[in-house]
Amino acid sequence: MPKTKIAPSILSADLSKINREIKEVEKFADLIHVDIMDGIFVPPVTIDAKFVKTIRTKAHLDIHLMVHEPSNSYIQKFIDAGAYSITIHEEACKEPARQINFIKKNRVKAAISIKPKTSLDKIKKYLGMVDMVLVMTVEPGWAGQKFISSATAKVMELRKLKPNLDIEVDGGINPYTARVAFEAGANVFVAGTSIFGKKDRVAAIKEILRALK
């Protein structure tokens, strides 16, 4: 299985002092997970590429586009802002191959995500194209939701299909649920509330890492 990676989600951080927030965790973070919501695919509207461009971190930026039919020019703004990886949603794109190919053409890692109720069959034809699959373990849109354990069945199937693929889980991740997802085959863990919701963010990350040993 690929290397285990921790991706603190800034959806639960204080955006008014985002670089200080990230500085607290970046030493122990493989990725910084950045949720982008457009108010169409999901009701909330969050930060944009201009904000992402202000982020200063040594960790890789993992951009999660919860955005309806993102255009090449829209995606390009996040590439220019320093994206290491960009995730699109199967449910938000008529033909995800278009976005995936554009991301890859720009030498950025491409990922595809599915919501808890979306069948894995919907993305099987893209598995040879992407660098990572993000399995949502909550309904996308809001931080602090409860982990949907049934989503781990998709993680298990994915790991059997693609032993070397990065499989990311996002939603309700804490030390206990991270372990559940890890045992199913996940290796990339997005955690927001369970890290930024704690006073000692480093201790919170270390607690998750201990659970994954």
Q: Which of 35, 38, 62, 166 is catalytic?
A: 35
**What is the token pair recorded at 127?**
């598995």
Q: Would you give per-residue pLDDT tens digits along the chain (213 residues)? A: 899 999 999 999 999 999 999 999 999 999 999 999 999 999 889 999 999 999 999 999 999 999 999 999 999 999 999 999 999 999 999 999 999 999 999 999 999 999 999 999 999 999 999 999 999 999 987 777 899 999 999 999 999 999 999 999 999 999 999 999 999 999 999 999 999 999 999 999 999 999 998
What is the set of domains in the chain, with CATH numbers?
5-211 (3.20.20.70)
Q: Is 80 annotated in the active site?
A: no
Q: Which of 38, 62, 166, 170 is catalytic?
A: 170
CB atoms near residue 212 (< 10 Å): 16
Q: Is 85 exposed, middle or buried (0-12, 13-18, 19+ CB in 10 A)?
A: buried
Q: Is 35 annotated in the active site?
A: yes
Residues 18 and 147: their CA atoms lie apart, in Å, by 26
What pTM does this model have? Answer: 0.96
Strand partners, 135: 114, 169
